[in-house]
Amino acid sequence: MNTLRPLLAACLCFVATVLSPAQARECTAKVKDGWIRMPPVSMPMMAGFGRIENPCSTPVTITGASSPAFADVSLHETRVVDGVSRMRHLPELRIAPDGSATLKPGGLHLMLMQPHAPLKEGSKVVIEFTLKDGGVLRGEFPVRKPTG
């Protein structure tokens, strides 16, 4: 019986080591309420909005984005500086544990450049966010007219 204890302990350590990465992957960020603003006329750029939630106990860092529907997708932020609205590219977006990032008109948003085909209201576009840890976060963004 005494010879089985070290073997059992080693097996338990091995199982815990193997399961830990799998359990860590169970907690993933999520895209919520995503949408793409339908432009008034055919334009080479559009904007995407929504919310990215991180329910995990560790931060999530987005380092890029892409979509098969657009030649280029990037994160941007609009800020008013000295009364002038300025837009800048964000190389990465860090979302704190149990936090979220809201992409909205006049703030953080996705710049969607050069659609490969015309998009209609109701079309659904998949956008993939590249994560710093090598993972990918996918979201579906329906195209709709702006409200209000």
* Mean pLDDT of the 7-27 span: 52
Q: What is the pLDDT of residue 43?
A: 79
Decide if 31 contacts 83 (C-beta within 8 A). Answer: no
Which residue is listed with tokens 């199982």?
15
The Cα 125–Cα 30 span in angstroms is 16
Q: What is the pLDDT of residue 3?
A: 61
Decide if 33 contacts 51 (C-beta within 8 A). Answer: yes
Q: What is the pLDDT of residue 102?
A: 98
Q: What is the pLDDT of residue 18?
A: 47
| Closest by Cα among 50, 41, 37 to 148 | 37
Using DSSP's 3-state secondary structure scheme, residue 6 falls into helix
What confidence tens digit (pLDDT) does each residue in 35-70 have? 999 987 777 899 999 999 999 999 999 999 999 999
What is this structure's pTM? 0.79
- With respect to CATH, is domain 27-144 assigned 3.30.460.10? no
The residues spanned by each domain of the chain are 27-144
Q: What is the pLDDT of residue 14?
A: 52
Percentage of the chain surpassing pLDDT 70? 82
